[in-house]
Amino acid sequence: MKKNIILISGSILIVFLAGIILWSHSLKNDDKIYENVSINDVYVGGLSKEEARSLLSSTYNKKSIKLIHNNQAFDLNFNDIGLNFKTEQAIELAYEVGRNKNFIYNMKTLIDIKRNHQITVTLKMEYDDQKLDDGLNKIANKIDKEPQNAKIDIKNHVINITPETNGYIIDKEKLKETLLHNIQNNNYSDISISGKEIHAQVTKEYLSKINTLLGEFSTKFNAGNYNRSYNLKLAAQKVNGVLLNPGEEFSFNDTTGKRGIAQGFKMAPIIVQGQLQEGVAGGVCQVSSTLYNAALYSGLTITDRRNHTIPSSYVTKGRDATLVFGSTDFKFKNYYKNPIYIENIIVSNMVISRVYGNSSDKRNIGITTTVTKKIPRQVEVKEDPNLALGKERIDDKGRDGYKVDTYRIYYENGKVAKKELISKSYYPPRKKVVYKGAKKISQTNNTQDVKEEESIPTNNVDTQIDTNPGDVNQSQNTDNTNQNTEEIDQNTDDNLDDLIFD
């Protein structure tokens, strides 16, 4: 028992003496950082605060770091990103080691230090994250490159394909992480900028599948009608050079966008509910109708098409496609396994639509129409009290109505392989309006009254306006394979060459 008391007392004495020794040591180093203390990888043990401050300033004195990509070098200035090291904070933490706790804990820390235990204080840094991102974005803008798809251009049936160019994008997140890690660890060696290649979506190999003309159709117009001709050219430009991939659907309205005065279209004759009036973008339907026929000859699937209320003279009945932006569209879909290319151009007074594709999709196609019913126009007779008895005038010639079926015929080895009903078109009749004279003429002044009646001009005189003088009433398919030259029905009512519904 007595022996144990002696051992315990001895231990306490040893600890007390050790504490006295360490306390004495700490007094000697009262203005110094204790041994074996570092700030990051900079040893500051045995240094005063001022000495540590001077050492850190000389160590962390870099102003920029170089970022390298291939033969390009970019200097990232630390001032530009608001970079600052919290030196004072780190020095205070280093100095407080062995001092900032209670007596027992501090003694333990000093004992560990004497046993060569290393203590490291982290030198924290601060920076403006937004400025750093902005700086990296500026570098990225000089390195990053958008991929360029291969392009196809067809002139005079000659197909030219420009190869694709792949793009490149740097890995900004990885670059930022590496940059901050290196700066934190006092590593200012050049940093290599990494990234990845971005492949173009459309390649030359893919576009090379377009190697032949699938179908073609053309219509003629009166180039003397300036506004209408201008609208034709503008619409053709908007739907020219369209690449339609397998499974994609072409929409005329979506491709042209809104067709208004603000978009450059002009006023020209249009048909609204069977009536002729001036409207914006008149004539555009001739482009859609021409493309409709080219699509038929190309074997494409028509998904949305509506005929005009009045037969058009530039295509036969059953082969027109009207448009009303926002409600009536012309659409077709590419169900082939290969892409197709749509060309719409104006040559002289002709609208030409061509569809190019792969030779494996080419078919020998013919188009035929059948008038299944002709609906005679009704006649409405009215009296005109100002017109001499026995006389009559035609106020509205009216027109007959038609029901027309359109077929697509596939030929193989000169024989019909398939006959496909494409559409059923209905052109409603318009009644004829005739005014008969009801004015009685006296016997004595009969001769004089008649002469006066004949000599007085009146707005009720029947006048037929040639809305497109000189227009050629003929449309033809110029595809050598799908040859189909059509003579347009010369009995088209009112010779409405330019009355196009849009």
Cβ(289)–Cβ(219) below 8 Å: yes
**Does residue 410 belong to any structural domain of this protein?**
yes
Joined tokens for residue 135: 């700086």
Q: What is the mean pLDDT of residues 272-300?
A: 89
Q: Are residues 281 and 392 in the same domain?
A: yes
Cα distance between residue 299 and residue 409, in whole Å: 10
pLDDT at 56: 87
Q: What's the domain count of the chain?
A: 2
The answer to the question of residue 84 being in a domain is yes
CA distance 57 to 388: 116
| φ, ψ at 308 (rounded to 5°) | -70, 170
Domain boundaries, position 428:
209-455+466-495
Per-residue confidence (pLDDT) for residue 321, from 0 to 100: 97
Q: Specify the higher pLDDT residue, 406 or 445.
A: 406
- Single pTM value for the model: 0.70
The answer to whether residues 144 and 260 belong to one domain is no
- Looking at the structure, tell me whether residues 220 and 369 fall in a common domain: yes
State whether the Cα torsion 370-464-458-273 is positive or negative.
positive
Mean pLDDT of the region 9-31: 53
CA distance 404 to 311: 11
Residues 232 and 189 both lie in one domain: no
Give me the percent of the chain exceeding a pLDDT of 70: 81
Mean pLDDT of 298-313: 95
Q: How many CB atoms lie within 10 A of CB 68?
A: 12
Q: Which residue has the higher pLDDT, 364 or 278?
A: 364
Structural domain includes residue 6: no
Q: The dihedral of CA 478, 480, 482, 487: what is its sign?
A: positive
* C-alpha to C-alpha distances, 65 to 39, 174, 175, 287, 366, nearest whole angstrom: 22, 16, 12, 61, 71
**Residue at 203 is within a domain:** no
Instruction: Give the pLDDT band of residue 186 (cuts 50, 70, 90).
Output: confident
- Determine, yes or no, domain membership for 5: no
Q: What is the pLDDT at residue 116?
A: 78
Q: Among the three residues 139, 163, 193, which one is the final residue of a domain in this structure?
A: 193
pLDDT at residue 261 greater than cutoff 50: yes
The answer to whether residues 381 and 477 belong to one domain is yes
Residues 186 and 232 in one domain: no
